[in-house]
């Protein structure tokens, strides 16, 4: 391991990782997740968004005052380059216009090379993204925020139990307040930690949860799914 990542020794060696990660939406959690993964040493990262940085984004998104008016993906690319010297791929695109057909090699290990991290703020967009990806051999990590709660789900497309949990979530979440309506920085940072840890565990072929839900007001775990209860799988 190079001296740059020596503090991660024994935890995660980025020189051996081989994941391609696409982050859809780089607002609150998406911007922090992209930077954190790059700081961990992940290099093959694509960020997708169509929005520009606005003043109200500054308190809970990883942007600077001087970024106001810029496309988020362009500003974030510059920030990540400054902090890590890693060049991420930026795509300025509306979610519905993006080409979701993954360029996957034949005989790919399911879920081991291609990860989509969904960081959008409404259930209709989640449903659309899922409809585009559900027939592909990959992994989806969906991070939802609302106030001082977050709900993270992990979906491997070859896992019928994962699909059922996620499809049920898409049905019930539509009856709740939009996840991006309000949020606060410490909830975002906690969700960022959970999602980046899941990505690390996928890369190392470790057991991953199906979903995690936490309430930051009380630190209560609302739904931390146990392996024996949900059929969480160890990646092969």
Residue-wise pLDDT for 36-88, tens only, equals 999 999 999 999 999 999 999 999 999 999 999 999 999 999 999 999 999 99
The share of the chain scoring above pLDDT 90, in percent, equals 47
Residue-wise pLDDT for 144-189, tens only, equals 888 888 889 999 888 888 888 899 989 886 544 444 456 788 999 9
CA angle 45, 51, 53 (to 5 degrees): 95
Average per-residue pLDDT for the chain = 84
pLDDT of residue 99: 78
pLDDT of residue 103: 56
Domains of the chain, earliest start first:
17-96+109-225 (3.40.50.720)
The average pLDDT across 16-37 equals 93
8 compared with 69, residue with greater pLDDT:
69
Torsion of CA 107, 156, 39, 87, to 10 degrees: 50
Q: Is residue 218's pLDDT more than 60?
A: yes
């Amino acid at each position: 391991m190079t001296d740059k990542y020596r503090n991660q020794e024994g935890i995660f060696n980025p020189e051996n990782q081989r994941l391609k990660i696409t982050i859809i939406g780089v607002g609150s959690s998406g911007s922090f997740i992209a930077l954190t993964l790059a700081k961990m040493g992940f290099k093959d990262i694509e960020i997708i968004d169509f929005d520009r940085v606005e003043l109200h984004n500054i308190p809970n998104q990883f942007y600077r005052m001087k970024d106001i008016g810029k496309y988020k993906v362009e500003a974030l690319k510059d920030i990540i380059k400054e902090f890590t010297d890693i060049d991420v791929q930026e795509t300025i695109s509306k979610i519905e216009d993006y080409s979701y057909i993954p360029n996957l090699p034949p005989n790919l290990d399911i879920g081991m090379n291609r990860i989509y991290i969904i960081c959008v703020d409404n259930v209709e967009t989640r449903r659309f993204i899922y409809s585009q990806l559900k027939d592909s051999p990959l992994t989806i990590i969906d991070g939802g925020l609302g106030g001082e709660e977050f709900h993270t789900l992990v979906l491997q497309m070859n896992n019928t139990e994962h699909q059922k949990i996620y499809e049920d979530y898409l049905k019930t979440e539509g009856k709740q307040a939009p996840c991006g309506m309000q949020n606060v920085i410490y909830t975002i940072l906690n969700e960022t930690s959970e999602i980046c840890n899941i990505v690390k565990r996928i890369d190392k072929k470790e057991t991953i949860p199906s979903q995690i839900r936490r309430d930051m007001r009380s630190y209560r775990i609302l739904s931390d799914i146990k392996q024996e209860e949900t059929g969480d799988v160890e990646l092969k």
